Every structure is written in structure tokens, then in C-alpha cells.
Structure 1
Amino acid sequence: MIALSMFLVCLAMLAMGFPVAFTFGGVALFFGLYAEGLQLFLMVAERMHSIMTNITLMAVPLFIFMGLILEKSGIAEKMLVSMGSLFGRIRGGLAVSTVVVGMLLAASTGVVGASVVTMGLIALPVMLKYSYDKRLATGIICASGTLGQIIPPSIILIIMGDVLQKPVGDFYRAALLPGLLLVLIYIIYCLLLAWSRKEAAPPVPARNGSLLAQYWHAFKTIVPALTLVMVVLGTVIAGVATPTESAAMGAVGAIVLATLNRRFKLSMLHQVAMQTTKITAMVFTILAGATFFSMVFTYTGGDEAVEQIMQHLPGGKWGFVFLMMLIIFLLGFFIDFVEIAYIFIPMISPLLIKFGIDPLWFGILVALNLQASFLTPPFGFSLFYLRGVAPASISTVDIYRGAVPFILLQLLALTLVILFPGLIKLV
């Protein structure tokens, strides 16, 4: 009852608008003192020290730094413009180029906010200029920006590797095909919509200059960033370097690319460092509160209660998987992916062995599911990121309605990975 009360109090406080990290930490402090007294808190310092010295988690700020350098230096913007010039001539081409650039930004930054804001500032005005449907334009930007959740070097994959005690490189390999599958589903949807509703995604008039010159310009723009991504991810997947080592290499590589593009400035470096510190502090503060909450939840018998309930579910393994995906999807409406990964997943991870579920497969399902949390109203972060940079002609309702088809497409990709678990083992 104490563990259940903790969970309900947390949900109530979050609904009232209390900060996430301090809500979980404060509730854990109150219930921990009530249930176990001061003895329980002798382990808190040890838990916090283990978080601070976790080598895998050190990759998080480095990947954030790498992504922000590529965004602030204008490399991401140049990729978006180049891809738009290539695909714009076909009907729905601007939407397709947005998806492709979203994939490239996901592979080079892994930061959802940076991807959505960048594409919102650059691609949205162009699509509106050529009379694209508002809901399609906003939906494709929000959805493409969230590809950083499933395409390596995704931060959530690093977190899942830490929570489920699996090598991050294995998660990177397993996520490649599901991520590319989702990209393909987005592209097919855009082309089908452009074919069935010609006014929703008209072609862009051809620009001056030969097509060969445009291809060469796009090649020069995309290849350097793509090479950096391949080196960073390749070293992790091949087992040559740890995620932290490859992230450090990526951070240095991003600075080199910015310098070669003559966009590197000390003022930009200071801005990126400050923003990286803010994002990292947010993630690790949530992690500290979530870890404290999980510890109190476990010591008050919450894990045993969850295990007893889950073992009596109808449908065995598949009933468990379906219920967990449903709960995670619903939690995504109100709670950030970091809290879900660090609070809810540890509660159910012991049951994976009992049901004979591959933690790697389950972790990819969770990552795909959590990707939808960025699009689900009322607290989908991608929706708010785009709202902050969208013109006044785009209403919040347009953004919400535009996200709905892509939420369904993400659930389709999730269903395909559930039905065909071999997709995570083909790389």
C-alpha cells in the first residue's frame, strides 16, 4: 500500500504542475522516512555516487554537445536546404526531404529539440510558401524531429542500456532497422498523401542551375557530417570504442567540421557549453530523483507487488508485453521519457526473465513507444518546440491535428517490430 500510495501521489503532483525531478525525490524522501526511517538513507549516498561515476552515462553530455555544435554552426541548416533542392521537384518532395534530413539530424545530433527547432525555422516557411497543408507540414516536422529517439546515437538507447544492463552497442545495432523502417513508413505516407490529395503537397518549381550541380552541392554538404556519424556509430557497433569514447570523438569531430565551415567561434562554444550543461543537469537531476524513488519503492515492497500482479495477467508473455506498451504509451501523455525509463522500467525489468523476454527486443519496443510521447498532447515536447518557432498563421490545434497521423504511424512501426522481432537482429 505504501508503494502504491507513492506512485499515486507522484501522479497527482505531476498533474498539478510540480517539477518532475523534485516531485519524485520529495515523495521518496517523505515515504522513505515514514516507512524505513533514517536507516534507508545510508544507501542514498552510495546510489548517487554510482550515478556520478557511471562511465556509460558520461556519453550523454558529450552527444548533446556534438549535436548542438552541428546545429549552432549551421551544418544542419545546410543539409536541410540541400536536400530540399533535390527532392522538391516531385510532388510531396519537400516533405520527403524533411524526413531524410530528420534522419540525418537524428544520426548526427540525437537531440530532439534541436532537430525540431532547426527544421521548424527552415523547412516550415518553405512548405507554407509552396502551399503545403498546414497539418502535413507541422506533423512531418514534429515526427521527423523525434527520430532521434530511435536512430543512434539516441540518448534513450544509452539509458535503456544502463537500466537493462545491456551493452549500448547492442542497442545501437538493434535500433538501426526499426529506425530505418519508421523513416520508410513516413516517406511512403507523404508520397501517398501527395498522390491522393494533390493540393496538400504540390511540387516546387525547378531552380536555376543544372541538376548535376545541385547533386554535387548536396554531396559536399552532407558527406562530411555523414562521415562523422558513420565513424562515431561504427566504432560503437563494431566494439572498437565505448559509447563514451565515441561520443568524445564525435564532440571533437563536430568542432573540426564547424572550423572547416568557418562557423566556429568562441561565443558559439560558450553558448553550446551552457546549453549542454542545462540539458545535462536536467537529465541527471531527474535521474537522481528517479533513482531515489525506485530505491524507496523497492524497499517498501513495491517490486514484489508489481511482480505478483503481472504474473497473474491473462495471455502470459504477450499479455504482459501488450499491457506494458499500453501503460508506457499512456504515461507518455504526461511524463517525460527519462522518468519513464528510470522509474517504470526498473519496476518491470525483473519480470522480463520470468516471461522469457529478450531485454534487447523489449528495450527497442520501449524506445519506439517513448518516441510517441514527444507527439502526444497535451505535453508532447515536439509540439511545444514547434509552437515556439511556428508563425502566427499556424495554430496550436493545427500542430496537434498534424501530429495524430504520425502517432498512428509510430504505433504501426511498433506493431511490426512486435510481430517480427527478428528485425532487431538483422544488423
Structure 2
Amino acid sequence: MEWWLVLIIIFAGAMALLAVGMPVAFAFIIVNMVGVLVLQGGGRAFHTLTLSMFSSVSTFTLLPVPLFILMGEVLWHSRVAFRAIEVLDKLLGRLPGRLSILTVLSGTVFSSLSGSTMANTAVLGTMLLPDMERRGYRRPMSIGPILASGGLAMMVPPSALAVILAAIAKLSIGRILIAALVPGLIMAVLYMAYILVRCRLQPELTPAYEVRRASLGERLDGVVRHLLPLGLIVFLVTGVIVLGVATPTEAAALGCLGSFVLAAVYRSLTWEVVRKAVGGTVHISVMMMAILVGALGFSQLLAYSGSSRGLLEAVVALPVAPLLLIVAMQGIVLVLGTFMEQIAIMMITMPIYIPIVTSLGYDPIWFGVLMLINLQMALTTPPFGLLLFVLKGVAPADTTMRQIYLAGLPFLACDLVALVVVLLYPDSIGWLVDWVYAK
């Protein structure tokens, strides 16, 4: 059977199972099993695939996944993370669009503590949207910043999806986390710059209101008591990796320990918090590991069938500039992201994309960061971006999907600017990775 026909059948099978609502992990595991039975006749090949699928997740390199999740769960359920919003609110003073700016800053801080885009969006929407509505903020300046900032959790460490992408593509987890940090911060700065400029041009979008001016003592007290301790957690997770002091696994363990200690210091660490945090961690971790089992088995099935090699040779032989191929691959991801789940997209594309990228002479870490930016954009791209519906669930009842779509478009443009910068200037992210790993 020709490789291209096998490839079409494999993808059609996976897409059909996903279309009928089967969970991502089970859909790919079934495709893997059926594919090996049909192509290899079962027996030893089936046994080898089964062993390799499960041994792929019993590795020390994936330990950061449950540790990062546990850290975020403890900080959420103990409500330690929410103290940062109050402090940031006092620090902003009377900036134009201050609540929109506060949303971006809070989203960036929360991203460094949770790594979950859905949790980030839901929390920001629940906590900040009612106040913005009460202050008379128009939807472009209330809903838009929440959508954009919620997606930053995919870029700012500890990003659970970045770890999964690294595992699927067999890339260095530490390198991908560090490389994604730079465009994540660029995007946050672009969001705030856009908010400030638009609020200057259209002040009616964010009506001014009386703000009690916090004294210098109050600001310093908030920073020392609430912001710096959370900053220490961020340092334990990201800083020690950047400084080359610890591996991602060690950093995840330090961050997890720090979250328990901080919750205990604030007297927020109760048995109920521990129960919810551990339960949530087990639930999410098992789901992610099952997904990785299916993803890594899928890449092996493509190798067994010869589809990977056949597609690689066909793509490399195309009379097209390599950079245009990269753009085309990213375009496919963006289109898929408007109606498919992010993890499913990574599972389908990365086993095929990474060999092509490597053969074209590009850095796979750079390509992985492009994928993360693109997937982050897909979360807020109409009509079916996941975060659009998450925000609809916490927005006021009179909020329409059209308002949500329009509010997110300017911030999508900011994401596109960041994507183009990283695409055309790989050194914009490569310098930090090279600096960290040169030490």
C-alpha cells in the first residue's frame, strides 16, 4: 500500500473518531492499535508498540507535568494567587484603562503560577469583569484583555502545553520553556501598549473613576507581604532554570514545595485545600499522560507505515522556499485551531512537522515556539476558539458571541505581530536559550 494512502487512512480514522466526540487519548490509542494490526499483522509489532507507548510516559523527564499542576492547584485553592491582584491594583494609580492594564498584568502573573489557559481566563473573567462592567468599561476593553491574557498561560512558564509539545516532539523541556518566555512577555507588552494607545484616542471606552491613592507605605507593604512571595515562587519555577541552577524537574519540585510553604505561611493550607489540589492534580495528570501515550504511539505508527519518510521526501523535494513551507505549516495549524482542541492538533501535526523542520535546517525549538504562539492565537480565533466559549460562560448574560469575537480581534493582531517577529528573527528567542545553556 502506498505511503500516501496509508497516511490518508490514518488521519481520516483519527478525525472520524474525534468528530463523533471520542476523547483525544482514546481516539489515538484506537487508531494506533488498529493500524498496527492491519499494517503489521499484530503479533510482535503489536506487543512492541504497546510496550513503547507505555514506557514513553514512565520517564523522569515528564515529572514536571504533575508537579507544575499541583503547584498551580495549591495556589488557586488556597487563594494565595489572588492577593497579587489587590497589590497590582494599588500600584497602577490612575492610568488610562487601568482595569484593562490590571487584567494583563494579573494574567501574566497567574500564567506563571498555573500554566492553564482555561483556568486563567475563567478566573480573570470571574474576578475582574464584574468590576469593569460596573465602572462602565466597554466590551472591547473589558472582554478583549481577558481573552488575550488568559491565553498567555500557554507561553509563560510553567506552561503545561509547552511540556506536552516538548514530549510529543521529543524536544528539551527546559529549552522550550525558556524560549517561550520571551514571546510571552512581548505579547503582554504589546497588549498593554495597545490598551494605552486606544484609551488615549477613545477615552470613552474606559470611563475615568475616582481611585483612592494608596500611600507609599501601603504600596510597599503590599509588595513585600504579597507580591514578593509570589515572585519567589516564579523565581523557583523559571528563574532557577534561566540561571542554569536547576533542571525543569527540579524547578517544578521547588515551585511545588514553595507553594505549600507559602500557603501555610498565609494560614490558607487546610486539609480541604490539599484534598482539592491533589484530586485536581491526579485528574489532570492522568488525562495528560493518556494523551501522551496516544500521541507517541501515533508517531511510531507513522514510522512503521513509512508515511513519515514518504511525506518527508515529498516535502523536501518541493520547489518552494523553505520559509514558505514553514509559513504554510503554521497556516494549517491556525486553521485547525479554529475547530480542534490544541492537544489534538499537536498530536496530529508534530510527528510529521518536526522531521520536516529538521531536514530543512531549522531549529526545532524555534519551530516549537511558533507552534505555541499559533495555538495560543487559535484559542481566541473565531468561530470556535476554546477561550471564546470559556469567557462566554462567565460574561454577563447580555454578552453576545459577536461582541466577544470583535473584542478579541485587536489582541489577535498583537499576537500576529509577535508571531511574525519570532518567524523572521529566530534570534529574538534563541539568545536566551543559548545564554542559559552556554553556562
**Given the superposition, is the C-alpha separation of residues 212 and 325 from structure 1 closer, same or farther in structure 2, using an over 3 Å criterion?**
same
Q: The residue matched to 1:373 in structure 2 has which SS?
A: helix
- Describe the superposition over 1:379-404 as per-residue Cα deviations: whole angstroms up to 9, x where unpaired: 42322322232231323332233222
Task: Please name the residue that 1:248 is paired with.
Answer: 253
The corresponding residue for 1:2 is 6
CA change 1:295–1:209 in 2 (3 A) is closer
Match of 2:17 among 13, 20, 24: 13
Distance 1:239 1:50, change over 3 A: farther
Q: In 2, distance between residues paired with 1:378 and 1:17?
A: 19
Q: Deviations over 1:2-36 (max 9, x none)?
A: 22122123223323433222222223333332222
* Alpha-carbon displacement from aligned partner over 1:64-106 (angstroms, at most 9, x marks no partner): 1111211121122221232223326221111111111111111
Structure 1 residues 209, 171: closer, same or farther in 2, change over 3 A?
Answer: closer
Shift of 1:323: 1.0
Question: CA 1:338 to 1:126, structure 2 compared with 1: closer, same or farther past 3 Å?
Answer: same
CA deviation string 1:38-65 (max 9, x = no partner): 1321212322332232212111111011
1:183-230 alpha-carbon deviations (Å, 9 max, x no partner): 111111111121122111223411265355245324432110111111
297-306 or 81-90: bigger deviation: 81-90
Give the AA of the match of 1:124. L
User: How is 1:388-407 mapped onto 2 (pairs within 5 angstroms)?
Assistant: 388-407=393-412
**More displaced 10-residue stretch of structure 1: 9-18 or 268-277:** 9-18
1:137-216 alignment, distance < 5 Å:
137-207=142-212, 209-210=214-215, 212-216=217-221
Show CA shifts across 1:130-182 (max 9, x none). 11112331121121011111111212332333344443222233223212111
Q: How many angstroms does 1:378 deviate by?
A: 4.0
Structure 2 residue corresponding to 1:265, chosen from 266, 270, 273: 270
Tell me how large the CA RMSD over aligned residues is: 2.0
Aligned to 2:420: 415
Q: 1:34 to 1:425 in 2, by over 3 A?
A: closer
How far residue 124 of structure 1 moved from its aligned partner, in angstroms, is 0.7
Q: Structure 1 residue 65 and structure 2 residue 70: aligned?
A: yes
SS at match of 2:56: helix
Which residue matches 1:295? 300
Letter in 1 for 2:21: G
Distance 1:204 1:306 in 2: 60
Taking the aligned partners of 1:360 and 1:163, their CA distance within structure 2 comes to 13
Q: Is the 8 A contact 1:108 1:226 kept in 2?
A: no
| Identical amino acids, percent of aligned pairs | 33
CA distance in 2 between partners of 1:251 and 1:381 (Å): 28
Q: Deviations over 1:258-287 (max 9, x none)?
A: 111111111111111111112112212222
Q: For residue 199 of structure 1, give the secondary structure of its aligned residue in structure 2.
A: helix
> Does the CA-based 8 Å contact 1:77-1:118 persist in structure 2?
no
Partner residue, 1:29: 33
1:285 aligns to what SS in structure 2? helix
Q: 1:16 to 1:359 in 2, by over 3 A?
A: same
Distance 1:304 1:16, change over 3 A: same
SS at structure 2 position matched to 1:91: coil
Contact between 1:317 and 1:357, CA under 8 Å: does it hold in 2? no
- After superposing on structure 2, the runs of 4+ consecutive aligned residues of structure 1 that deviate more than 4 Å are none
* Stretch moving more, 257-266 or 151-160: 151-160
SS in 1 for 2:115: coil
User: Would you say the 8 A contact 1:84–1:98 is kept in 2?
Assistant: no
Equivalent residue number for residue 82 of structure 1 = 87
Instruction: Give the alignment's TM-score, normalised by structure 1.
Output: 0.94
SS of equivalent residue, structure 1 residue 426 = helix
Change in Cα spacing, 1:404 to 1:15, as seen in structure 2 (3 Å) is farther
* Secondary structure at the counterpart of residue 245 of structure 1: helix
> In the superposition, relative to structure 1, how do residues 313 and 198 fare at CA in structure 2: closer, same or farther (>3 Å)?
farther
Correspondent of 1:384 among 376, 380, 389: 389
Name which of structure 1's ranges 308-317 and 127-136 shifts more when overlaid on structure 2: 308-317
Counterpart pick for 1:223 among 223, 228, 236? 228
Q: Which residue of 1 aligns with 2:120?
A: 115
Measured in 2, the distance between the counterparts of 1:263 and 1:112 equals: 24
CA distance in 2, matches of 1:210, 1:24: 57
Describe the shift of the 1:138–1:196 C-alpha distance in structure 2 as closer, same or farther (beyond 3 A): same
The separation in 1 between residues aligned to 2:6 and 2:230, in whole angstroms, is: 51
Q: Is the 8 A contact 1:152 1:176 kept in 2?
A: yes
1:11–1:237 CA distance, 2 compared to 1 (3 A): same
Segment drifting more, 160-169 vs 173-182: 160-169
Q: Is this contact kept in 1: 2:157–2:237, CA < 8 A?
A: no
Question: Against the structure 1 CA distance between its residues 379 and 298, is the aligned structure 2 distance closer, same or farther, given a 3 Å change threshold?
Answer: farther
Distance 2:73 2:126 in 1: 16
Structure-2 residue corresponding to 1:347: 352
The farther-off stretch of 51-60 and 199-208 is 199-208
The structure-2 alpha-carbon separation of the partners of 1:170 and 1:292, relative to structure 1 and needing over 3 Å to count, comes to closer
CA distance in 1, matches of 2:42, 2:16: 26
